[in-house]
Structure 1
């Protein structure tokens, strides 16, 4: 476990308290990026364990689409082309009361340089039927929803 993974659980409650006071509601976006062979890109962050769909927060004054475009470029080296489809909007109140996550499916894209700046430890493309050990429960649930193996849940 690196220093960011040890530091994150200590700092997060203070950041969430600040976000509650300054925002009240927060919004995030995650992308299910699908390669021609059906594989999906996942990332491992340097500051929290597990494999996740790439994405991040939607900043004030930013659209969900703009956030998706820059997060996928930065985290996974994916340049979004064409129209992305919203798969679902999930309340993430377990993690932070007032937080919501929009999940988008991206099929039209091209590879590009990523700019993870120390945030991403590893990026990988995986067959949805053979996800890597450590894939988070929420990531597995979103992929099952994408595959039609489960209905779209209201909660993250």
Structure 2
């Protein structure tokens, strides 16, 4: 049922918005791990984030999503890593990626219930099995020196 809802929602987005914009964050802790989430409504491990809502800036969206999904509050501006085409998901989708290093955030309780199935701190060079291709690609670029790509996910 959750997958059907996701497909309906994605189809509505394609029809109602000619371009979509999302945000994601690489949240790093002092041990060099990154925070990753698994949603209840779609398979795979992701970096925290989500869609930019009408009237929000990308930073406002990021702050909202980080609080909802991981209980994070930014205490300093995150680094802008890049803006990537995500045509693998939607024809006109883009993802803004930020990086929040240790000491630039605090963590409390997540405020969104029912959306996140699981959350872990993971080694960025050995993320959990089932990490999405786009997430894996960006972790390889940031932590393993893979050549940067303008695309979020590897192209088919």
Tell me the TM-score normalized by structure 2. Answer: 0.89
Are 1:94 and 2:88 an aligned pair? yes
Look up the match of 1:73. 67
User: Residue 22 and residue 144 in structure 1: after superposition, are their counterparts in 2 closer, same or farther (change >3 A)?
Assistant: same
- 1:112 Cα deviation after fit: 1.3
Q: 1:17 to 1:136 in 2, by over 3 A?
A: closer
SS in 2 for 1:60: coil
Match of 2:52 among 48, 58, 73: 58
Regions of 4+ moved over 4 Å: none
Q: Is the 8 A contact 1:144 1:150 kept in 2?
A: yes
Which blocks of at least 5 consecutive residues in structure 1 are unaligned?
Answer: none
> How far apart, in 2, do the equivalents of 1:138 and 1:55 lie?
13
Deviations 1:56-92 (A, max 9, x none): 0001110000001110111112111101111111111
- Consecutive unaligned residues of structure 2, counting only runs of 5 or more, are none
Q: Tell me the residue number matched to 2:39.
A: 45
The C-alpha deviation readout for 1:97-137, integer Å capped at 9, x for no partner, is 11100110011100111012200001100111221111111
Contact 1:54 1:71 in 2 (8 A): yes
**Deviations 1:25-71, CA, capped at 9 Å, x for gaps:** 11000000000111000000001111110100001110000001110
What's the Cα RMSD here?
A: 1.5
Q: Secondary structure at the match of 1:49?
A: coil
CA contact (8 A) 2:125 2:143 kept: no
Q: Distance in 2 between matches of 1:17 and 1:23?
A: 10
Distance 1:44 1:122 in 2: 5
Q: How many residues align?
A: 150
